[in-house]
Amino acid sequence: MSVGVLFTQGLVTGDPHTVLGEILEQAEAADRLGFSHALTTEHKYSDEYFGSPLHLSYAIAARTQRVKVGTAIAIAPLYNPMELAQDSAMLDQLSGGRAWLGLGVGYMPVDYSTVGVSWEDRAQRFDETVRILRQAHTSERFSFSDEIYTFDDVSVIPQPVQAGGVPLHLAAWTPGGLRRAGRLADGWITNALMSLQTMTAMAADYRAAAEAAGRTPHVTSIRFCWPYTSREAALEKFGDTALAMARTLFDYGAITDLPGVSSSAEITLEEFVKDRFVFGTPQECVETVGRFRDEAGVDDFLMIFRYPTGPDHAAVLEAMELFGAEVLPALAADHRKVRA
């Protein structure tokens, strides 16, 4: 089991040049502290997220030595699939075989209209893009033809470093999406705020699809995270921004498993700390991660320490240091104990 970091900042975080520099510094900290990934994400029309995740991943790759670099997620239907194949192969070469590609369909039509891509055929576009990526990364030359895309005798130069191509992990929240992840992908990525109960049920459906397709299932869970030594300080730094983010995502339609909640104003921090956030003392964080591992069968985690609106850079580095010093070693020891 590994634990990585996911960056989710944008213009509302502050001056773009400054914030991008802070992301690079946090990526260097992740590399130094023993985290496994330093990944980026995107929306194409949002002040809250930067919209060029692979470009930022190139910079992260150049500033790190060990962590996996890439996306969780890039909205795959918004890209020309051969260009995405080329860019991700180049990231793999630049990083020496550390590229990791998390892909999703997205859930906001404005992301599509911003770049002039049809929202209506997004599922077919996504399916074909994943298949094209796989062929492009494993074939010297290939041809492809389906409903959306046709390519004749094309190639990606240079090919990825990793045998079998850049690993492809698909985000999904629907039955069809879970089946697609099982059929086509190297793993399934949860969303950041689904409950443990929801994740456990979806993970079971995904695993069944993966096993039916002859694939080894792999579950990666995105979680909002904040370790602390002082609860009062944690609530001050983390509480308001975390609650605001949860309410925003509810309004966007990204949280659908809150029965009885009809308005984002009804959401409480206590509700999300119970089985959605990784929040608490280092030991409490270990216990929470262990529950997701044992009940939902999570293989890897991607932690979000900073939302678009905070906490501030210094506090994030401090939280990452605490997690790296006390939570990661305890998780490794606990995992060895479980496997034994």
String of DSSP letters for 297-313:
---EEEEE--BTTBS-H
Average pLDDT, stretch 162-180? 96
199-216 pLDDT tens trace: 999 999 999 999 999 999
Q: Based on DSSP, count helices (H) and strands (E) in the chain, helices before strands.
A: 13, 11
Distance CA 273, CA 257 (A): 15
pTM higher than 0.85: yes
Residue 160's pLDDT is 98
Residue 272's pLDDT is 82
Q: Which residues contact 159 (CB under 8 A, 6 or more apart)?
A: 89, 137, 140, 165
58-92 pLDDT tens trace: 999 999 999 999 999 999 999 999 999 999 999 99
The CATH number of residue 33's host domain is 3.20.20.30
Give the count of domains, the chain.
Answer: 1
* Higher-confidence position of 153 and 232: 153
Q: Is the model's pLDDT at 256 over the cut of 90?
A: no
SS3 (DSSP) at 72: strand
Residue 121's pLDDT is 97
User: Which of 282, 279, 276 lies closest to 322 in space, CA to CA?
Assistant: 282
Residue 339's pLDDT is 61
Cα 122 → chain centroid: 20
Q: Is the model's pLDDT at 190 over the cut of 70?
A: yes
88-106 pLDDT tens trace: 999 999 999 999 999 999 9
Distance CA 89, CA 136 (A): 9
**Percent over 90 (pLDDT), the chain:** 82
The domain in which residue 235 lies consists of 2-339
Please report the DSSP string for 222-277 in residue order.
EEEEEE-S-HHHHIIIIIHHHHHHHHHHHHHT-----TT--SGGG--HHHHHHHT-
Angle at which helices 81-95 and 122-138 cross, to 10°: 50
